[in-house]
Amino acid sequence: MTTLPQSELPADLSILRTTAQHNRVIAGIRATVLGVGTIRRSDPIWVEST
């Protein structure tokens, strides 16, 4: 979704190119669903590095 326009920001293809140049071509996130339910803005999360 990095190349699609967001809110008041126009589409910008250079975002994906810049991410690839500076982040070993990693431009995403991997997630695992641990349970069923609704995620809310204030819900806690944790991030594990691989």
pLDDT digits (tens, 9 = 90+) for 1-50: 666 777 887 878 787 788 778 777 666 677 788 889 898 999 888 777 66
Domain membership of residue 42 (yes or no) is: no
Domain membership of residue 45 (yes or no) is: no
What angle (nearest 5°) sits at the alpha carbon of residue 5, between those of residues 1 and 47?
A: 35
- What domain range is 13 assigned to? 1-25
Q: What is the pLDDT at residue 15?
A: 76
Q: What is the pTM of this model?
A: 0.35
Domain membership of residue 7 (yes or no) is: yes
33: left (phi over 0), alpha (psi -120 to 50) or beta: beta
- Residue 50 CA to residue 46 CA, distance in Å, equals 13
Q: What is the pLDDT at residue 42?
A: 92
- Residue 38 CA to residue 36 CA, distance in Å, equals 7
